[in-house]
Structure 1
Amino acid sequence: MDKDKALSHEFRSVTSLAALLRFWREHVSSKCSYMAEMFRTFEAQLAQYPELKGDIADVSVFETHQQIINPLMTVVFPPSSWETALTGVVTPLENRPFYYTPSFKRVLMSEEGLIRGTFKQPNADAESFRLLRAFWLILDKIYGISAGRSTPVIRTVIDPNTGLERFYRILPDWQFLEVESHGDPRALSPEDRRQILDNIDNPDILAGFIAPQQFSFRGFIVIHAVDVTESEVFLDLEKDLIDQESIFCTNGFGRLQRRLQILLSRPELHAGIGVLQGDQVWVLKGEDHSAVNCIFKNSIHIPLADLKGSIWLQAVAKGEMIIVADLAAQKEIRPSERELLDAGLRSVLIAPLFYQGEIIGTFYIMSPAPNAFTAMDKMLIRPVIPMFSVALKRGVDDIHNEVQSIIKEKCTALHPSVEWRFTRAAFSHLERLQRGEPSEMEPIVFKSVIPLFGQTDIRGSSEARALSIQDDLTEQLTLANEAFRRAGQSKSWPLIKQFQYRIERRISDLAKGVHTGAEAEIGSFLRNEVEPTFEELVRIGPRVAQAIERYQRAIDPQRGSVYKERMAYESSVSLLNERLSGYLDQEEAIAQKEFPHYFEKHQTDGFDYVIYLGASLREDGRFNAFHLQNLVLWQLLLACGMAWHTQRVQPQLSVPLDTCHLIFYTTTPLSIRFRYDEKRFDVDGAYDVRHEIIKSRLDKAMIKGTDERLTQPGKIAIVYSQPNEADEIRRHIQFLQNKGHLRPSVESVDLEDLPSVRGLKALRVDVDLEAAALAQRLDQVALG
């Protein structure tokens, strides 16, 4: 800046009326005889005052000779706008006003007679701009380069009445300013001109082409100022609202509030935003000036229910901007409104914020004065409402993304029924982090929940798999043994006999059953010891080569072993699981719509599931025993459907398979805790572990005094421990028998004691697999 100031002082400038008089002579007198006569009078008067002719060193003479200056200036200041226009005449370069309208003086001039305010443009200073303007004028009037000259200038001026900023666009009129060159100006090459245009805003570069001491300015500059406060505030708000922190951080929100005060010329105005978040409203405000500036420190979280009937929800219900002229005059004052009155606020203007037709919050401004807002204020505020809506939506989405990132890191995927609780915990965790406090996710425990457990097991799946392994390995060993047998017929190598012995021993062992590790051990033996010998054996003769070729054709190329029976088993299990799992997903989707609940499915050979129900699992705390009984009945219907689908898919299975169905019903509540290290729910407390133990052992439960397994194909077994639980189950069974889903007879049995578990009982009932009513219901489920 010091360098710019030194350069600007090298320019010579003088105030002169010469250009104004020439304008009168060439553009006014020549077109009107009356004006010509008037101008001759002016010239005669000017001849009497030499201080007004030529270079004027002291601009105070304009004040002394207003009887001449006023009529001369009518071509610059039309009388019709004298009282309202913001127009002034200033000296070249120094910008010192010496002739101006009353409004210009009142708004833009200081007591010292200088132009008030500062440049609004960032990093702009008066000295640098004065120097640039001098260069631009020389480039325009001497070299014909007009770039830069029309650059808009916005000046910020403090309104003395409100203490708020006002913005004025300064429009200079250069026609009464002459640029004179002392000597021949430097010639500019095309490359010089290109560099000048590329650096038109850099005074240091321009000074390399233009020598200030070679030029002078004579005349004056006319300045027209236009109040652009409204448009500038809109632009500033738009820029501010691009930044998330403008809404969600105190400093940013305070800046927005200041902009709104300027827009409405109300220094006493307070602004706020209410963000709808589930059953809460975050109230953001601009008065908090704490060191920690974030949404959590800068907001109050209010239950939505506390705002019922309030002026904010009235605006939401109407879907349009409303004005509350005087809170104190309301017939019924809600607690949230009482807080405003206690804070000394009387008038409120509220606008609902919508995004793509969905309400996301409210924007409001408040004043301590009653009847402070009018329809005109609504007109001024209306254009900024969409800006606030977009900014709020984007900001809330960004915060939710942060929360989801925390949940994903700490918890992985969550069931929708409990996501609300993890979201709340993640918000609290994020809040503590934003405040600079050490934080971990808080423990998440759901107390007093009822567990519902169900299982569909593929009966004999382990035996079927073992048999398929036995058949495949026996076939592969037999094919290998044939190759060695034929080789032994042609060669008397003792190692051939040893391989035959080792292979036949394994075939004999397999005939007794498949022991643990047999599949891996035999596979390794064949791959690493038997198959490498084929390269030598194949040379013995064609009969051996044929046996080796049959072995190799039987090998599955992807698995490197005979896999025919295992493939048949696996495809059968996969087909059955796919059919039953798809059906379960359909049923669960319907049940979830009827009453949201926690649901978790585990799939192996068959699958099991667990449902948790209880008030603590619900964000609204709503739970009734009706929903529990409804889902218990649903479990029975589900088991009926599983048995029916099993029967229908059996003809498509390569390996015969069947399913057994078990339900464990207890009305004893327990607590579940989320294990962050394992990223899953588990029972909480030693007593509740009993439920997990029972679940894990029920599939092997035996009927007391017999060697019969409780679970049998085509039947549903319902395990319980309390007599009242049996009564409830019987009611459901009787209903389904009446509907034709279950057969008439019901078995009641005691179970053999399990390790750490005694006294369990069960009801067992057959599914009527041919019932038309059951088939009809399952068709409806399939249709959704």
Structure 2
Amino acid sequence: MKRSMDELNNRVQAIIKEHCTAIHPVVEWRFRKAVLGGLERPAAAAGEGQAGQIEPIVFRDVYPLYALSDIRGSSSHRAWAIQSDLLTQLGLAREIFQAAYRVHPMPILDQIGHKIERYATDVEVSLRSGDEVGLIAFLRREVEGLFGHLEGLGPDVRERIEAYRRALDPQLGAVGMRRRAFEESLTLINDTIATYLDAEEQAAQILAPHYFEKQRTDGVDYSIYAGASLLEDGGFTPLHLKNLRLWQLMVGCGIAREVERVKPRLAEPLETTSLILVQHAPLSIRFRFDEKRFDVDGAYNVRYEIMKKRIDKAVVRGTTERVTQPGKIAIVYSQEAEAAEYRDYIAYLQSLGSLERDVEPLDLEELQGVSGLRALRVTVSLEPPAGEARGTLAAAARRALG
């Protein structure tokens, strides 16, 4: 009997792995149920139509929570780092040819030096997509390709060639000091946010099981879906939902403090911004077997996904000011009832010292496909609050609502 059960379990796991890859533990029961249901059908038992064994998996009436901690101006920082590295490399190359020309005044050496100068002027003005590739190709072909000959022109030239070579990043084959500083700083911030978020999320799972997924790009964003349909026992109440919403705001404060703590270790000074997207209306999510992930289900619910993709670009109405600002959390909402609930959470966190007293109510400009958005913007207090000393944020959130 045990062997038969083990074989069945192994078969179920194999089918889930084939069609779904890794499944979040909270919803694994539903996938097992779907696979077992498929195995019980006569066609599947005969080994036919295996691809159709898993029935559609849809969770209805789940509540979405979304938050984003983003690196402010990351694209500009990255472009500046590339530009700075290229100018450094061009400067080192220029010094080589100037030294070579002083020793051996051949017009061709002066002409190459002039060409390097033109490249440097162009890079200083602007760096367009594709410029870096062309410039590196020029340096390798017309500059580095002459080093073997130029080294014979004396110690001054040789020293400058060695300085050029030492400055090259072995992996890039180009100067990469500023790029490396940026990427290391970005990684440190992302690691700090992800580590803190993972620890708090695990604690929150104990109090209110939910589906959770996060993504790392130039920052960290995460989505939560919570509701009775996700749980095998259906044990989910409005109090669980409120606890998650309060927890999410507390985590936003905690992330801001964690990032502030590691700022002295950043090789490149970077700022982060935080945003929470509020939607009280429940929606449905469906597992996409072709993409092996969950997505919102139904045309009406697509608006929520559009908001998630575009909301970090939102600006305050009548201005060019981004709703997200360093040191603040932007709570974006559509309905006044949503704002009222979050004002209660804000007041509680102000009493703990997690948030400063100022609350900015903002109207936002329309986004493509989305209108009627507003925001509450609050300032995070970077001193650890009194409530945090009493355990995890999830537990503190439960006590606050209890």
When the two structures are superposed, what TM-score results if normalisation uses the length of structure 2?
0.92
Q: Find the counterpart in structure 2 of residue 544 from structure 1.
A: 157
Question: Contact conserved, 1:737 with 1:743, CA < 8 A, in 2?
Answer: yes
Q: Tell me the amino acid that sits aligned with residue 368 of structure 2.
A: P
Q: Which portions of structure 1, spanning 4 or more consecutive aligned residues, are displaced by more than 6 angstroms? A: 778-781
1:424 aligns with 2:33: yes
Match of 2:87 in 1: 474
Report SS of the residue matched to 2:174: coil
* Alignment equivalent of 2:127, drawn from 514, 520, 536: 514
Deviation, 1:557, is: 2.4
Identity %: 53
Alignment of 1:270-349 (within 5 A): none
TM-align CA RMSD: 2.0
- Give the Å deviation of 1:772: 4.0
2:81 and 2:179 in contact (8 A); partners too: yes
Structure 1 range deviating more: 736-745 or 493-502: 493-502
Aligned twin of 2:334? 721
Distance of 1:662 and 1:648 partners within structure 2: 20
Q: Over residues 100-125 of structure 1, what are the superposed CA-to-partner deviations in whole Å (9 max), with x where a residue is unaligned?
A: xxxxxxxxxxxxxxxxxxxxxxxxxx
Alignment partner of 1:414 is 2:45? no
Residue 173 (structure 2) pairs with residue 560 (structure 1)? yes
Deviation of 1:460 after TM superposition, in Å, equals 2.3
Give the equivalent residue in structure 1 for 2:46: 435
Change (3 A) 1:681 1:536: same
**Given that residues 207 and 240 in structure 2 are in contact (C-alpha distance below 8 angstroms), is that contact kept between their aligned partners in structure 1?**
no
The Cα offsets for residues 195-247 of structure 1, whole Å up to 9 and x where unpaired, read as: xxxxxxxxxxxxxxxxxxxxxxxxxxxxxxxxxxxxxxxxxxxxxxxxxxxxx
Q: Is the 8 A contact 1:641 1:778 kept in 2?
A: no
SS at match of 1:538: helix
* Counterparts of residues 327-406 of structure 1 (less than 5 Å): 392-406=1-15
| 1:756 lines up with 2:369 in the alignment | yes
8 A Cα contact 1:718 1:763, kept in partner: yes
Structure 2 SS opposite 1:601: strand
Give the equivalent residue in structure 2 for 1:281.
Answer: none
Instruction: Give the superposition deviation at 1:477.
Output: 0.9
1:505 aligns with 2:118: yes
Deviations 1:605-643 (A, max 9, x none): 211000011222111223222111110000100000011
Deviations for 1:564-623, whole angstroms, at most 9, x for unmatched residues?
A: 111111111111211111000000000011111000000112110000112221112232
Residues 774 and 691 (structure 1), Cα distance of their counterparts in 2 relative to 1, 3 Å cut? same
Q: Give the distance between the partners of 2:390 and 2:367, measured in 1 at CA.
A: 37
Partner amino acid for 1:421?
R
CA distance in 1, matches of 2:77, 2:361: 30
Residue 743 of structure 1 corresponds to which residue in structure 2?
A: 356
1:464 aligns with 2:73: no
Q: Residues 170-189 of structure 1 correspond to what in structure 2 (within 5 A)?
A: none
Structure 1 partner of 2:383: 770
1:96-175 equivalences under 5 Å are none
Preserved contact between residue 694 and residue 757 of structure 1 (Cα < 8 Å): yes
Q: Shift of the alpha carbon at 1:520?
A: 2.8
2:397 is aligned to none
Contact 1:641-1:774 within 8 A present in 2 as well: no
CA displacement 1:746-766 (0-9 Å, x = unmatched): 110000111111110000111
| Structure-to-structure mapping, 1:535-684, within 5 angstroms | 535-684=148-297
Residue by residue, what CA displacement relative to the aligned partner does 1:526-573 show, whole Å, maximum 9, x if unpaired? 234321121122223332222211111211223322121111111111
| Larger CA Rg, structure 1 vs 2 | 1
2:398 matched residue in structure 1 = none
Q: Is 495-504 or 567-576 further displaced after alignment? A: 495-504
SS, match of residue 539 in structure 1: helix
SS at match of 1:746: strand
Change (3 A) 1:442 1:528: farther
Could you tell me which runs of 5 or more consecutive residues in structure 1 were left unpaired when the two chains were aligned. 1-391
SS at match of 1:611: strand
**Alignment partner, residue 142 of structure 2:** 529
Contact 1:672 1:683 (C-alpha < 8 Å) held by counterparts: yes
Normalised by the length of structure 1, the TM-score is 0.48
**Gap change, CA 1:694 and 1:780, over 3 Å in 2:** closer
- Letter matched to residue 394 of structure 1: R
> Number of residue pairs matched?
391
CA distance in 1, matches of 2:142, 2:292: 44
Residue 59 of structure 2 is aligned to residue 450 of structure 1 = no
- The one-letter code sitting in structure 2 at the alignment partner of 1:644 is R
SS at match of 2:118: helix
Q: Is the 8 A contact 2:200 2:393 kept in 1?
A: no
Q: Which amino acid aligns with 2:46?
A: R
One-letter code of the match for 1:434? A
Change in CA separation of 1:485 and 1:775 when aligned onto 2, cut-off 3 Å: farther
Structure possessing the higher relative contact order (Cα contacts under 8 Å, 6 or more residues apart): 2
Deviation at 1:501, TM superposition (A): 2.8
Q: Map of 1:209-224 to 2, 5 A cutoff?
A: none
Report SS of the residue matched to 1:757.
coil
Partner Cα distance (2:112, 2:20) in 1 = 55
Report the AA paired with residue 511 of structure 1: E
Distance 1:449 1:563 in 2: 46
Equivalent position of 2:399 in the other structure? none
438-447 vs 747-756, which moves further: 438-447
Residues 492 and 778 (structure 1), Cα distance of their counterparts in 2 relative to 1, 3 Å cut: farther
